[in-house]
């Protein structure tokens, strides 16, 4: 299949320079690689810049109300498990008003592909701070700097017992497409945190890793079964250090150090996955930390990918089990077995 088959006839209304353009193009490429027909694909969204995505994809789609994309996506997948369901949501739509739905679709492990666009700002409503804006961030709704500590999406996913988490960058098309394809292959709630730039209200929010000159030294693309090596010259690696007490910590070592870790995305224990996902996050949780680059790189690619029963599978199995045991096979037969009285 070709990516052009998944492009709608609608004019794309993202601002020029918006990172959402790249994610939209990557999703169209990923859908073509996946090969699920357009008529078996559904894209659900809430409200926000990223939530315009259903309009730009030649699939079934539903632009729902603010924060409720997860609830509708859960209903679509549960009632029609044969469909491939994608959910598009921003950091405000997904983690603020939609936060409750988000953690429960992850906890239930509904077989959805969730793209979480994180530009650390409310863009559609013109520049208010969001649940992922760093502490001290100055915006229209926090003129003296927000005093709140932000959510780290990866930490939220791990805490909700998530089975799949990936992170990608809008300017890294190959990694973005790969994460989307692997999200579809995973059975369960797949969360992809897409780090995107808001050129109007939060320009350069991910510049410290998006810049070509520094990206190789400040980020690492994790690949299952491969050594955790990064750097412009592939001369750095990640290892565990046990010298600080009972709790190990991740450190940077030379790439030829025998302690360099091999990435295992499929291990059930989330301890190391969480450590990897939190690398570099001290730079994005407080505006004052952004001036001092972290020694540890931020992790991109598929960080966690473990198997578990999905909610939609369990519901379907339960319905079939009840049907097999029930004498009533139609609605009329069911009502005939219930207590009735005349008014």
Domains and CATH numbers, the chain: 3-226+263-311 (3.40.50.970), 227-260 (no CATH)
When pLDDT is cut at 50, 70 and 90, the band that residue 339 belongs to is confident
Instruction: Tell which wins on pLDDT, 83 or 329.
Output: 83
Contacts with 318 (C-beta within 8 Å, 6 or more apart), sequence order: none
Q: What is the pTM of this model?
A: 0.94
- Residue 290 has a pLDDT of 62
How does pLDDT run across 24-43, given as a tens digit for each residue? Answer: 999 999 999 999 999 999 99
The mean pLDDT of 211-229, rounded to a whole number, is: 96
Quickly count helices (H) and strands (E) in the chain: 11, 11
When pLDDT is cut at 50, 70 and 90, the band that residue 292 belongs to is low
Q: DSSP labels for 225-273? A: TSB-EESTTS-EEEEEE-TTSSS-EEEEEETT-TT--B--TT-S--HHH
Contact 77, 112 (CB under 8 A): yes
- Residue 335 has a pLDDT of 82
Residue with tokens 């259903």: 54
Is the per-residue pLDDT at 327 higher than 60?
yes
Instruction: Lowest mean pLDDT of 96-110, 122-136, 166-180, 288-302, name the range.
Output: 288-302
- Residue 293 has a pLDDT of 65
Is the per-residue pLDDT at 343 higher than 90?
no
Instruction: Tell which wins on pLDDT, 329 or 217.
Output: 217
Beta bridge partners of 222: 301
């Amino acid at each position: 299949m070709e990516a052009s088959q998944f492009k709608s006839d609608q004019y794309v209304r993202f601002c020029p320079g918006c990172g959402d353009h790249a994610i939209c193009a990557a999703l169209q490429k990923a859908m073509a690689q996946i090969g699920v027909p357009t008529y078996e694909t559904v894209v659900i969204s809430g409200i926000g810049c990223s939530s315009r995505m259903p309009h730009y994809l030649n699939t079934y789609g539903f632009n729902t109300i603010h924060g409720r994309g997860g609830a509708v996506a859960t209903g679509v997948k549960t009632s029609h498990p044969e469909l491939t369901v994608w959910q598009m949501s921003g950091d405000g739509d997904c983690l603020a008003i939609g936060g409750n739905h988000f953690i429960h679709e992850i906890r239930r492990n509904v077989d959805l592909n969730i793209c979480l666009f994180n530009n650390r700002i409310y863009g559609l409503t013109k520049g208010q701070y969001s649940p992922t804006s760093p502490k001290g961030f100055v915006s229209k709704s926090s003129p003296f700097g927000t005093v709140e500590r932000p959510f780290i999406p990866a930490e939220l996913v791990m805490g909700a017992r998530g089975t799949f988490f990936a992170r990608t960058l809008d300017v890294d098309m190959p990694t973005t497409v790969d994460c989307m394809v692997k999200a579809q292959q995973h059975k369960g709630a797949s969360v992809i945190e897409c780090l995107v730039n808001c050129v109007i209200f939060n320009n350069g929010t991910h510049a410290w890793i998006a810049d070509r000159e520094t990206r190789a030294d400040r980020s690492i693309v994790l690949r299952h079964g491969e050594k955790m090596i990064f750097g412009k010259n592939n001369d750095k690696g990640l290892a565990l250090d046990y010298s600080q007490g009972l709790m190990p910590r991740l450190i940077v070592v030379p790439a030829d150090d025998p302690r360099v870790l091999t990435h295992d995305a499929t291990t059930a224990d989330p301890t190391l996955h969480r450590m990897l996902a939190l690398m570099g996050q001290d730079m994005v949780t407080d505006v004052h930390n952004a001036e001092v680059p972290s020694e540890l790189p931020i992790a991109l690619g598929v960080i966690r990918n473990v198997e578990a029963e999905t909610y939609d599978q369990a519901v379907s199995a339960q319905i079939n089990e009840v049907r097999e045991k029930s004498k009533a096979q139609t609605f009329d037969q069911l009502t005939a077995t219930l207590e009735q009285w005349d008014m």
